[in-house]
Chains A and B, each alone.
Chain A
Amino acid sequence: MRKLIPLPLWDRVGVILLNLLALGVVVVYLFPMLFMFVTAFKTDAQMGDLDAPVYPARRVTVEIEETPEPEKEPEDAQQQEAEAQPTRESSCGLVPCLSGFGSTNSDADSDSEKADEAPDTPQIKTYDVYTAPDPFTGEQWALIKKGRKASTVANIETLDAPFEWEGQWRSLEPVYEFELTTSNFTADTRFDFWKLVGNTMQIAIFSSIGMVIASVLVAYGFARYPLPGGRFLFFVLIATIILPEKITLVPTYFTFVRVLDWNETFLPLIVPHLFGSAILIFLLRQNFMALPSEIEQAAMIDGAGPLRILWSVIIPQSIPVIMTVLLLHFFYAWNETRMAVLYLTSAQELHPISMGSASGYDDAGVRQAQALMTMIIPALLLFIAQPVFMRGVKVTGNQ
C-alpha cells in the first residue's frame, strides 16, 4: 500500500497519532503510580478531609494577634504563658502567615485551651481562610466566629475590620495551598530504612549470585551435553516450574523450622535458590542453544574443558540474558514476602524491606511513602540496566 501511494503528510499524521496513543497508554497505565506519589506526600489530616484537593496541600490559615477579655484563674495560666513565650516571639502578628494543617481554632477544644491563657497579654489565634461567596471579588475571608445563621469574618487583606456575614459558613469553600509533606517518610520508627535495606541486600545478593551460578551451569548442561533421558529430564525441569508452591510448603516448612532449626534466619530464603531456578534455567538454555557452536568446537579441539568453554566462550556471548536473569531474580528476591513472613515474622531485626513496608502502619500516606522507599533500589536498577534488560532474550527455539 505504502509503495503505491506515498503520502508523507498522512505518514506524519500517523506517526503523531501513534506517539500520542503510546504516551496516553503509558500515562493511564501509570496513573495509580501517580496516586502512590501524591499520597506519599499528603498529611494524615488531608486524608481525612473530604474538601481537600487531590494534590498534596494544606489548609491556609491566618493568625491574628488580639487581646482577649480578662478571665479568672490567673496563677495557673501564668506558668503556661512562661513556657509558651518563645514561640510567640517568632509569630507574625497581623501579616497573614501559614501554620500547621487544619489547625481549626473555633471548635470547643481550642476554645477551652485559650481560656487557660493569660488575661491581658496579646495572644495569637489561628483562623481558617475561606473563599468569599462571591468569587468575582477574589476576596478571602478568615472565619473568626462560626454561627449557625451568621458568622463573623474578616477580609484577610485588612483583618482589622471583622464584620458579620449572613450565611452558612459550611457553604464556604476552604482555601488550600500546595505543600509537600515529607513526614510520612520518617513517621514510622519501626521502618528503619538502612537496616531493612541491609537485610534485604544480604538475602537478595546471596540468593541472586548463587542462583545465577547454578542456573548457568545447569542450563549449559541441558543445552550442550548428552543426558540420560535428556528430553524426559527437561520435561521434569518444566514440571517443577508449574508445581504449585503449596504442595511443597508443609514438609519444607516443617523441615526448616523443626528439623534444621532455621527459623529466624535468612537461610530458608537463600538456600533453596542456590540450586538454580527452573524458569531461569529454561530461559538461559533457550539462549545458549541459539549460540553458534563453531567456536566451542574449535576450543574443544584445543583441549578446553567444559567449564573453560563455558567461561570463555558461552558467557561472554550471553551477557544480556545473564543480566536479565540476574535482575529478574533480584526483583523477585527484593519483593519476596510469603517465605519471609513464614520464617522471619517473629524476628523483627531480620525483616526484609518488603515486610517492613507491610508492617501494618495504618496510615495511607506512610504506607505509600514506605512503598516508594522500598522501590528505590529495584527501580534504579531497572532504569540503569534498561539497555540490556530482556533485550534479544529468546524463549523461542526447540524445547
Chain B
Amino acid sequence: MSLPLAKNYFTLMQTRTVPRKSPSFRRYLPGLLLISPWLIGALLFKFAPIIASFTFSFTDFMMVSPDDIDFVGLKNYGQMLTDRNTYTALFGTIGFAGISIPVQMTAALLLALLFKHEKVFGRKIYRALIFLPSIVPGAAIFAVWTGFLDPGTGWLNQLILLPLGFPPYPGPNSEAGYNFYIILAALWSIGPAFIIMLSAMESVDKHLYEAARVDGAGPFYRFLHITIPIISPAIFFSLIISVVSVFGGAVLMDRSTTFQAGQSPFDALIFRQMFEFGRLGAASAYAWVLFMGVMLLVIWLFRSAVHWVHYPDGEGA
C-alpha cells in the first residue's frame, strides 16, 4: 500500500516542479530529510560503536590507559573460550530465556484474552492495574521478591502456600526455587506485551466472530483460528521485545537491577570485564559473541515468522 501512494506523491510533485538534474535524488529528498534524525542517530550511536567495538575486541584496550593500545589478535576470544565462567553464564542465560520468554508470552496472551471480554466490568481499570507493576522501579522489585519469597517470613509461604496446604517454598537459593522466582519476576514484567496484544485483540472485526459462531465454531476454535492469526503480528512484536530484553537490551522498560543477582549472567560477565577489571577490549569481545548469538536467534525468528505471522495484505515480514 505504501508504494502506490508514494508513486502518487511522486507524480504530483513532478507535475509541480520539473526535475532536470538528478531525478532520483530529488525524488528521495523529502523522505531522506524526514528520516535523517534516525539515520544520523543510528550512524552515531549504533553503527559506529558496533564497528569500534569490533576493532576493540582484538586489542588490549584498558580503561585506565587509552593511549596505549596494542593489537593482540584473537587473544580475547581465546581467553573467553577457555574461561569456565563463560559456559556457566551462557547456559544460565539460555535457561533464563527458555523459562521467562514462554511464560511471558503465554501470560500476556491469556490476560489479554480475559480482559478484552466486553462482559468484564471495569476492564479499563484492570488494564491499567495489570500495567502498573511494569512501572515499579527495578531496585524495588528486587526487594519485593526477596521479601515476598522469604522462606520464613515471606507472604508466599505465610499467606498462600501454607494456609492452602501446599509444601512451603524453599527460597530462591535452590534450583527449583530459583526457577520459580524467575517465573514470578517474568510474570510481573508483562505490561507492554499485554497491552500490545490487548490492543490488537480489540481491533479484530467482531463480524468475524459472529460469522464463525453462526457456523457453529466454539470459543476455542474461534480463538485458535480467528484471534491468533489476526493478532499474530502483535505476538511477534512482543516476542521480539521479550527476546531482546532477556538478552540484555532495554526495550520499552528498564529492569536492569531486577535480577542483578540472576538475570542474563552473560551481561554480568561483560560488566565485570568492563568495570571491575577495566578491560574494554575483552568486554568488547564478549559483547560481540553475545551480539552474534542474539542476531542469529532473531534472524531465525524472522524467518520462522513467514510461516506463522499473518499479514492482512499479503506482504510478508
Residues of A within 8 A of B (CB): 1-3, 15, 18-19, 21-22, 25-26, 29-33, 35-36, 39, 50, 54, 214-215, 217-218, 220-228, 230, 233, 236-237, 240-255, 258, 272, 274-276, 278-279, 281, 289, 293, 297, 300-301, 303, 306, 328, 331-332, 334-338, 341, 353-354, 357-358, 364, 367-368, 370-371, 374-375, 378-379, 382-383, 386-387, 389-399
B49 touches A227 (CB 8 A): no
Query: Which residues on B sit within 8 Å (CB–CB) of A370?
Result: 140
B251 lies within 8 A of chain A by Cβ? yes
B119 touches A18 (CB 8 A): yes
Given contacts A22-B114, A39-B147, contact A386 B119 (CB under 8 A): no
Q: In the complex, what residue of chain B is closest to A336 when comparing beta carbons?
A: B254
State the CA gap A289–B312 with chains docked (Å).
Answer: 13
Q: B225-254 toward A: CB 8 Å interface, digit per residue (1/0)?
A: 000001101100100110110011111111
Query: Which residues on A sit within 8 Å (CB–CB) of B283?
Result: 249-250
Distance of A244 from chain B, by nearest CB (Å): 5
Query: Which residues on A sit within 8 Å (CB–CB) of B199?
Result: 390-395
B72 lies within 8 A of chain A by Cβ? no
B254 touches A247 (CB 8 A): no
Distance of A130 from chain B, by nearest CB (Å): 21
State the CA gap A227–B147 with chains docked (Å).
Answer: 54
Query: Which residues on B sit within 8 Å (CB–CB) of A243?
Result: 46, 50, 249, 291
A244 touches B252 (CB 8 A): no
A398 touches B311 (CB 8 A): yes
State the CA gap A289–B233 with chains docked (Å).
Answer: 15
Given contacts A15-B119, A396-B233, contact A332 B147 (CB under 8 A): no
For window 194-224 of chain B, which residues contact chain A by CB distance below 8 Å? 195-196, 198-200, 202-203, 213-214, 216, 218
B135 touches A276 (CB 8 A): no
B261 lies within 8 A of chain A by Cβ? no
Given contacts A367-B143, A398-B1, contact A249 B56 (CB under 8 A): no
15 extra A-B contacts, CB within 8 A, seeds A249-B270, A375-B137? A25-B111, A29-B130, A54-B159, A214-B41, A221-B33, A226-B3, A244-B247, A279-B251, A297-B12, A337-B257, A353-B137, A387-B124, A394-B199, A398-B2, A399-B311
B313 touches A254 (CB 8 A): no
A275 touches B188 (CB 8 A): no
B82 lies within 8 A of chain A by Cβ? no
B240 touches A242 (CB 8 A): yes
Distance of B260 from chain A, by nearest CB (Å): 10
A244 touches B244 (CB 8 A): yes
A338 touches B256 (CB 8 A): yes
B174 lies within 8 A of chain A by Cβ? no
Given contacts A240-B46, A242-B298, A386-B124, contact A227 B28 (CB under 8 A): yes
Q: In the complex, what residue of chain A is closest to B160 when comparing beta carbons?
A: A31
Query: Which residues on A sit within 8 Å (CB–CB) of B295?
Result: 242
For window 288-317 of chain B, which residues contact chain A by CB distance below 8 Å? 288, 290-291, 294-295, 298, 311-313, 315-317
Main SS of the interface on chain B? Answer: helix
Q: Which of B128, B152, B214 has the largest count of A CB atoms less than 10 A from its CB?
A: B128
Query: Which residues on A sit within 8 Å (CB–CB) of B176?
Result: none
B50 touches A248 (CB 8 A): yes
A399 touches B198 (CB 8 A): no
Distance of A6 from chain B, by nearest CB (Å): 14
State the CA gap A303–B3 with chains docked (Å).
Answer: 21
B158 lies within 8 A of chain A by Cβ? yes
State the CA gap A193–B170 with chains docked (Å).
Answer: 37
> B40: which of A224, A225, A275 is its contact (CB, 8 Å)?
A275
State the CA gap A389–B130 with chains docked (Å).
Answer: 13
For window 34-51 of chain B, which residues contact chain A by CB distance below 8 Å? 34-35, 37-38, 40-42, 44-46, 48-50
Query: Which residues on B sit within 8 Å (CB–CB) of A306?
Result: 30, 34
Query: Which residues on A sit within 8 Å (CB–CB) of B74?
Result: none
A218 touches B200 (CB 8 A): no
Distance of B92 from chain A, by nearest CB (Å): 16
> A1: which of B28, B50, B56, B216 is its contact (CB, 8 Å)?
B216
Distance of B125 from chain A, by nearest CB (Å): 8
> A250: which of B42, B53, B256 is its contact (CB, 8 Å)?
B53
Query: Which residues on A sit within 8 Å (CB–CB) of B9?
Result: 224-226, 300
Q: In the complex, what residue of chain A is closest to B232 when comparing beta carbons?
A: A396
State the CA gap A18–B126 with chains docked (Å).
Answer: 14
A364 touches B155 (CB 8 A): no
State the CA gap A215–B3 with chains docked (Å).
Answer: 21
B254 touches A54 (CB 8 A): no
Query: Which residues on B sit within 8 Å (CB–CB) of A246?
Result: 248, 267, 270, 286-287, 290-291
Given contacts A224-B2, A382-B132, contact A32 B250 (CB under 8 A): no
Query: Which residues on A sit within 8 Å (CB–CB) of B240?
Result: 241-242
Given contacts A33-B132, A33-B133, A244-B294, contact A328 B252 (CB under 8 A): yes
State the CA gap A326–B31 with chains docked (Å).
Answer: 23
> A275: which of B27, B38, B192, B249 is its contact (CB, 8 Å)?
B38
> A396: which of B48, B140, B234 is its contact (CB, 8 Å)?
B234
Q: In the complex, what residue of chain B is closest to A355 when comparing beta carbons?
A: B139
Given contacts A337-B139, A338-B254, contact A254 B119 (CB under 8 A): no
> B137: which of A31, A374, A392 is its contact (CB, 8 Å)?
A374
B195 touches A390 (CB 8 A): yes
Given contacts A279-B251, A375-B135, A375-B137, contact A383 B128 (CB under 8 A): yes
B256 touches A275 (CB 8 A): no
Distance of A389 from chain B, by nearest CB (Å): 7
A335 touches B247 (CB 8 A): no
Query: Which residues on A sit within 8 Å (CB–CB) of B294?
Result: 242, 244
> B250: which of A215, A253, A254, A338 is its contact (CB, 8 Å)?
A338
Could you give 7 example pairs across A and B, Cβ below 8 Å? A1-B213, A221-B33, A252-B49, A274-B37, A279-B251, A337-B256, A396-B312
Q: B1-29 toward A: CB 8 Å interface, digit per residue (1/0)?
A: 11101111110100010000000100110
Q: In the complex, what residue of chain A is closest to B48 when comparing beta carbons?
A: A251
Query: Which residues on A sit within 8 Å (CB–CB) of B218?
Result: 1
Query: Which residues on A sit within 8 Å (CB–CB) of B247?
Result: 244
State the CA gap A370–B140 with chains docked (Å).
Answer: 8
A368 touches B138 (CB 8 A): no
Q: In the complex, what residue of chain A is closest to B50 when comparing beta carbons?
A: A247
Q: In the complex, what residue of chain B is closest to A14 when comparing beta carbons?
A: B119
B162 lies within 8 A of chain A by Cβ? no
Distance of B207 from chain A, by nearest CB (Å): 15
